[in-house]
A and B are shown apart, each in its own frame.
Chain A
Amino acid sequence: MSSTINDFSDRLSPMLVKELRQGLRARTFIAVFLSLQIFLGLVLLSAGASATSDRAGSVISGIIFLFFSLAVLVVQPLRGVGALSTEIKGGTIDMMVLTRLSAWRIVVGKWVAIIGQSALLLSTIIPYLILRYFFGGMNLFGEIMLLGLIFITSMALTAFTVGLSGSSSVVLRAILPLMGTPVLMWSILMLTFSRGEFDDLISFCSLEDPDARIVIGCYIAAAVYLGWSMLSLGASLIAPAAENHSTLRRLIALALILMLVALGIFDQVEDSVMALLVLLVATPAIATAITESAPLVPTSCVPFIRRGPLGKLAGFILYPGWPAGVLFSLLIFALGIFAMLSGPLLHGNNFEEDVMLVVFSLYGGLLFPGVLVVFFRSGESQRVANYLLLLIATGVFALVITGVAEAMSNRDFLWLFIWNPFVFIPMSEMGRFGDDELLVASIIVDLILCAALLGRAIIGMRAQGEVLRQAEEIVDSGPLNLPG
């Protein structure tokens, strides 16, 4: 008996052991893996034979990257769509959370298992790259760096799908891959088949340009942060009420936005880059905080109450649940705007109205579905799903209404729809309206949304008074004496 359960060390995560045992027996993965090898080999040989000598290497690189990208950027992340939902549907997630496995370890175990298989695919690319080397004209470092970046992107995309797979909304789990897959496939095909662009990309990845190092460094940091945020969201979605994943997620987002504020104060970053960085940090932070369906239970409040008045104060933005999440989102919003304005205010830099308008529009676009979810879906367990679907819907609506306005040649008509702050971006692009008047309007709309959220959050917080009282009781009662 023992031989069959001694195949993996005790040191490995139980989730990884489980996923590997299942995954290694899955015929689909073996079939895909072998098919890819045979297909790549045949294509490589035929491409090598048919291409002229000066282009052969580049053609082969393009083919290798095309198939590798499709496998790890499309197929592998799609496998994550059902990662947690199948456990939830099968009723096994409850049994897992009753063990010593935290929700985080469950989610990470699922993610690592898929990433491990992607790594296996990456390792199979190496023989083809060695073969390709003999065709000449290879930018070795650039191609290896690009492979690495594709793999990191795959990790982030897989984290995205694994995290969202914790949502019970079938619509969300279906829509995002359906929307994302064609975009990704189109992008991959464009990059690999357009010879100039592919060569430029490899050249960029060779890090000869100092700016490329910064851009790639920021890209990796953003991929890690977004991927981590999504895995943390997945953990929140499946965790029992007493498991708090929100506070750490918010603390990290807060630390990052404070870092950006510091960079802004010392005028280290261009305004447009700062806007991008602020939005990168704020988007997952606000989207996850504002939609948290986890109820506030006394156990989650205990660590805050133990830290005295300062801890209790911090709790107002760090307690799990949407009311504290809304206050946290508003703080992130304010800090992000301050980081953006610190250049013009403290160093007399040019105030770039168009950049600020985009930031306020996107911020407002993030807050608007939050207001709808908080006011009209307060009792729903599918807050995240509803929020993301509303976010997509408002974005699409802004595009459609802009098209209608242009077709009617009546662009003033768009003012009727500024309650959806995404509309400000196409309005700015049209050139008919002044950026200053659009900026003022977008600030007013954002402030109204903030006020609505704040009011609802205060009501929600007041309802949590009993939970805080119970938490204080736990702190007062001292350590627990376990039976037997």
Chain B
Amino acid sequence: MSSAIKIDNLYRYFGPLQAVNGVSFEIPHGSVCGFVGANGAGKTTTMRILATLDYPTLGTAEVCGINVVHHPAEVRRLIGWMPDHFGNYENMTVIEYLDFYARALGYKGKERRERIQEVMEFTDLVPLAERFSNKLSKGNTQRLGLGRALLHDPQVLVMDEPAAGLDPKARVELKHLIRVLAKEGKTIFISSHILSELGEMCDSLLFINNGRIVHHGDAESLKRGSDLLGGVLYDVQVDGSAQAVSDWCVLQPNVEFLESRKHGGRIRIDTEDPAKAADVLARMVKDGLRIVEFHREQRNLEDAFIDILGRLDSGQQAITPPPPLPGTVPAPLPTVEN
């Protein structure tokens, strides 16, 4: 079966500016994929091409196996688009706003009214039905935008920075709605600057930088991934003083003591191979350290992103493993080739 979203060697140039530069990835049906990158990295351009609002200079983009350039009208029936910013109309209530789009999507009579009711209930907009749409708070505006994008019950939802500018409560509500949609089996492609939030709700994360995909994997693999130089951090607790761990590390070639803690410390092992970490642990035990705890530290996603960008800056190339299918074992850790 084809992927929900498939992008192959996509380029988009605006004159001399290379907004998207050979992007390729696939997102399976029913998964939630986060799209991460700095401003101007190419996120919005890629999303607009998927939504048939822009066209690629080269390469192909498909939604549910349908080419977005060849069959834009068919793609529009399958896709719900929520842009990062959209204005609402003056002198138009929430229900009239949804009614306009429902009419524009071809719904008529009872079916139109029922569809609007369903969407308003899902997005909790019923109490705001008679409020003017341009007087809503940012959070409610985003809910209205989501409601509009869901009116035609799309299979794929593309959301560009939906959480931008939302207060914490509105973010939690939005996250909840996205989770519910994911459970319903919709494929969601969402961009955001807030990596921690994406990590919680996404099955996979795509990192884009200067128009290129620099990583494609799940959040867990990133948190457990290596740092800029390929090392991994471990927390070591011993029955004794931290000094013992520090002293032991001085004599080891691939292990660095970073920071003292109450009964141990943080160490950095110069490899991300779990077998080598097991060797280090075995040597510690053999050398008489009474190990109480030895576990790999999880980095936050921001650090992981910065590390990936750092690798690129230092001339290394990030390899992008295929995305994991929902409910399957996480994808392998990203590796680096010199």
Residue ranges of A at the interface with B (Cβ–Cβ < 8 Å)? 1-2, 4-6, 10, 14-15, 17-18, 21-22, 25-26, 89-92, 94-101, 240-242, 295, 297-299, 379, 470, 474, 480, 482-484
A15→B81 CA distance, assembly (Å): 20
Is B71 an interface position by the 8 A CB rule?
A: yes
**Can you give 23 A-B contacts (C-beta < 8 A)?**
A1-B117, A4-B93, A5-B96, A10-B109, A10-B112, A14-B100, A17-B100, A18-B100, A26-B90, A26-B91, A90-B86, A90-B87, A91-B86, A92-B87, A96-B104, A98-B53, A99-B106, A101-B104, A242-B55, A295-B55, A297-B55, A480-B66, A484-B155
Q: Residues of B contacting A90 with CB < 8 Å?
A: 86-89
Is B299 an interface position by the 8 A CB rule?
A: no
Contact of A98 with B81 in the complex, beta carbons under 8 Å: yes
Residue ranges of B at the interface with A (Cβ–Cβ < 8 Å)? 2, 15, 48, 51-55, 64-66, 69-74, 76, 78-79, 81, 83, 85-93, 95-96, 99-101, 103-106, 108-109, 112-113, 116-117, 126, 129-130, 148, 155
Asked whether A98 and B113 contact (CB < 8 A) given A18-B100, A92-B86, A298-B69, the answer is no
Asked whether A18 and B65 contact (CB < 8 A) given A97-B53, A100-B105, A240-B53, the answer is no
How many Å from the CB of B156 to the closest CB on chain A?
11
How many Å from the CB of B59 to the closest CB on chain A?
12
Considering only CB atoms, which chain B residue lies closest to A100 in the complex? B106
Considering only CB atoms, which chain A residue lies closest to B29 in the complex? A483
Interface centre among B88, B103, B112, B126, by most A CB within 10 Å?
Answer: B103
Contact of B71 with A480 in the complex, beta carbons under 8 Å: yes
Q: Residues of A contacting B100 with CB < 8 Å?
A: 14, 17-18, 21
Considering only CB atoms, which chain B residue lies closest to A27 in the complex? B91
Contact of A94 with B72 in the complex, beta carbons under 8 Å: no
Contact of B70 with A299 in the complex, beta carbons under 8 Å: yes
Asked whether A22 and B105 contact (CB < 8 A) given A4-B130, A94-B83, the answer is no
How many Å from the CB of A69 to the closest CB on chain B?
28
Contact of B70 with A474 in the complex, beta carbons under 8 Å: yes
Contact of B81 with A482 in the complex, beta carbons under 8 Å: no
Asked whether A5 and B53 contact (CB < 8 A) given A22-B90, A91-B86, A483-B65, the answer is no
Q: Residues of B contacting A379 with CB < 8 Å?
A: 15
Contact of B69 among A21, A99, A299 (CB under 8 A): A299
Asked whether A240 and B65 contact (CB < 8 A) given A91-B86, A92-B89, the answer is no
A10→B111 CA distance, assembly (Å): 11
A121→B69 CA distance, assembly (Å): 45
Q: Residues of B contacting A25 with CB < 8 Å?
A: 91
Contact of A242 among B52, B99, B148 (CB under 8 A): B52
Contacts between the two chains (Cβ within 8 Å), count: 122
How many Å from the CB of A206 to the closest CB on chain B?
43
A96→B95 CA distance, assembly (Å): 17
Contact of B52 among A95, A98, A101 (CB under 8 A): A98
Q: Residues of B contacting A14 with CB < 8 Å?
A: 100, 103-104
A298→B96 CA distance, assembly (Å): 37
Contact of B83 with A18 in the complex, beta carbons under 8 Å: no
Q: Residues of B contacting A92 with CB < 8 Å?
A: 86-89
Interface centre among B70, B87, B91, B148, by most A CB within 10 Å?
Answer: B70
Q: Residues of B contacting A17 with CB < 8 Å?
A: 99-100, 103
Interface centre among A10, A99, A240, A484, by most B CB within 10 Å?
Answer: A99
Q: Residues of B contacting A297 with CB < 8 Å?
A: 55, 69
How many Å from the CB of B256 to the closest CB on chain A?
50
Considering only CB atoms, which chain B residue lies closest to A483 in the complex? B64
Q: Residues of B contacting A480 with CB < 8 Å?
A: 66, 71, 74
Q: Residues of A contacting B72 with CB < 8 Å?
A: 240, 242, 299
Q: Residues of A contacting B54 with CB < 8 Å?
A: 241
Contact of A98 with B71 in the complex, beta carbons under 8 Å: no
Asked whether A482 and B66 contact (CB < 8 A) given A1-B117, A5-B116, A240-B53, the answer is yes
How many Å from the CB of A320 to the closest CB on chain B?
12
Q: Residues of B contacting A2 with CB < 8 Å?
A: 113
A18→B89 CA distance, assembly (Å): 9
A379→B17 CA distance, assembly (Å): 11
8 tightest A-B CB contacts, nearest first: A90-B87, A99-B104, A14-B103, A25-B91, A5-B99, A91-B86, A14-B104, A242-B72
How many Å from the CB of B76 to the closest CB on chain A?
5
Interface centre among B65, B66, B69, B148, by most A CB within 10 Å?
Answer: B69
Considering only CB atoms, which chain A residue lies closest to B58 in the complex? A466
A94→B113 CA distance, assembly (Å): 24
Q: Residues of B contacting A96 with CB < 8 Å?
A: 104
Q: Residues of A contacting B106 with CB < 8 Å?
A: 99-100
Given contacts A1-B126, A91-B87, 6 further A-B contacts (CB under 8 A): A95-B83, A241-B69, A242-B55, A474-B70, A483-B64, A483-B78
A14→B107 CA distance, assembly (Å): 11
Asked whether A99 and B105 contact (CB < 8 A) given A91-B86, A298-B70, A480-B71, the answer is yes
How many Å from the CB of B124 to the closest CB on chain A?
15
A242→B103 CA distance, assembly (Å): 22
Q: Residues of B contacting A474 with CB < 8 Å?
A: 70
Asked whether A22 and B91 contact (CB < 8 A) given A5-B113, A299-B69, A299-B72, the answer is yes
How many Å from the CB of A99 to the closest CB on chain B?
4
How many Å from the CB of A259 to the closest CB on chain B?
34
How many Å from the CB of A286 to the closest CB on chain B?
26
Considering only CB atoms, which chain A residue lies closest to B98 in the complex? A5
Considering only CB atoms, which chain B residue lies closest to A94 in the complex? B53
A241→B12 CA distance, assembly (Å): 14
Q: Residues of A contacting B101 with CB < 8 Å?
A: 95, 99
How many Å from the CB of A466 to the closest CB on chain B?
8
Q: Residues of B contacting A299 with CB < 8 Å?
A: 69-72
Considering only CB atoms, which chain A residue lies closest to B108 in the complex? A10
Q: Residues of B contacting A98 with CB < 8 Å?
A: 51-53, 76, 79, 81
Asked whether A1 and B15 contact (CB < 8 A) given A91-B86, A95-B81, A95-B148, the answer is no
Considering only CB atoms, which chain A residue lies closest to B106 in the complex? A100
Considering only CB atoms, which chain A residue lies closest to B91 in the complex? A25
Q: Residues of A contacting B66 with CB < 8 Å?
A: 480, 482-483
Contact of A1 with B129 in the complex, beta carbons under 8 Å: yes
How many Å from the CB of A23 to the closest CB on chain B?
8
How many Å from the CB of A110 to the closest CB on chain B?
13
A242→B113 CA distance, assembly (Å): 31
A6→B116 CA distance, assembly (Å): 12
